[in-house]
Amino acid sequence: MKKLQVFFLLAVLFSFSCVNRARENSNSAYTGPIIDMHMHAYNTPNPLFGEASNPVTGEKRYGSENPASHKEETFEIMEKHNIVLGVVSSPDGKNKVLKEWSRSKPGKILIGQSVVDPDKLNADSVRLYFKRGDVDIIGEVMPNYAGILPNDQRLKKVFDLAEELEVPIGFHLFPGGPAGGAYFAYPLTRASQAKPLQMEELLISHPKVKVYIMHAGWPFLEDMKALMYAHPQVHVDVSVISWNLPRQEFHNYLKGLVDAGFAKRIMFGSDQMTWPAEIANGIEAVNAAPFLSIQQKADIFYFNAANFLELPKGVINQHQNSMVHK
């Protein structure tokens, strides 16, 4: 009987130890290398620079003063938070500023080709950019700003080009801009444009094109789960929902994707726009998720994107080893 009691006591202690270790694991902050799949650079002053007020909600935000300070502030945040690679696009689709960013941070910038209206996409120019190494990803693709739905056949041109060049697509589905943006900044956007399942025919006709849905398809969680289940080539980044939504809403949405089995296809992205400080807020929001293990955080912050981008093993080792010397 005594042996049985001792065995039972040891089993209870072991169980408590496992629970405590699991709690510690989920509460640990990830501090390793990070890949940011969603960043922006600017060629010219933007209305969001400096103090920007939302005329609908009255909310005020204070961002970088100009494109030059925005660049330096973003680089400072990248260094501070071990962001070893960033996918950067320019909203106007011009790549000159992106090349400047790439030259300033060799090996740390991937250039995205922005697309708003697919009718204005010059495929020959993008082919040339790609050949010169000036384009790595087609994105941010954001047809919502032109009032174009994700099932519009004009987008086939974009997917055809990605398939030809064998590059992934970063696709913007979030309704667009700040709350109430359709009333002052983006008059052609509609919330209904953000439904992920509208992309299905494009995905079916281009099965080799890897796509990541920016902002993770929020708020259409059930649509997003269905799309990811049906199409293994689809990933998501968290971007603006990590810092622009109430923390509990972000965690609820993220947990829904994780619980559905998609933890290996969720990537970090900040969508820092003119507010580089939001990169840190996005990182903190993911680290604060109580349901994520430290390995899941490492996957979201780095390994999922490394796999999606098909980074060479040597580059991954370099990124991991760089942490040892910090």
Domains of the chain (ranges plus CATH)? 31-322 (3.20.20.140)
Q: Write out the two tokens for 101.
A: 């960013």
Nearest to 241 by CA among 232, 250, 254: 250
The whole-number pLDDT of residue 116 equals 95
Give pLDDT < 70 ranges for the chain. 1-26, 323-326
How far apart are alpha carbons 88 and 109 in whole angstroms? Answer: 7
Of 249, 195, 189, 192, the closest CA to residue 222 belongs to 195
Residues 137/86, Cβ–Cβ less than 8 Å:
no
Query: DSSP alpha helices (H): ranges in the chain?
Result: 2-27, 67-80, 96-104, 123-132, 156-165, 200-205, 221-230, 241-244, 247-259, 277-287, 294-298, 304-308, 313-322
pLDDT at position 283:
98
pTM listed for this prediction? 0.91
**What's the pLDDT at 7?**
46
Given this model, what pLDDT does residue 45 score?
Answer: 83
The interaxial angle of helices 277-287 and 247-259, nearest 10 deg, is: 50
pLDDT of amino acid 101: 96
Q: Would you state the pLDDT for residue 58?
A: 87
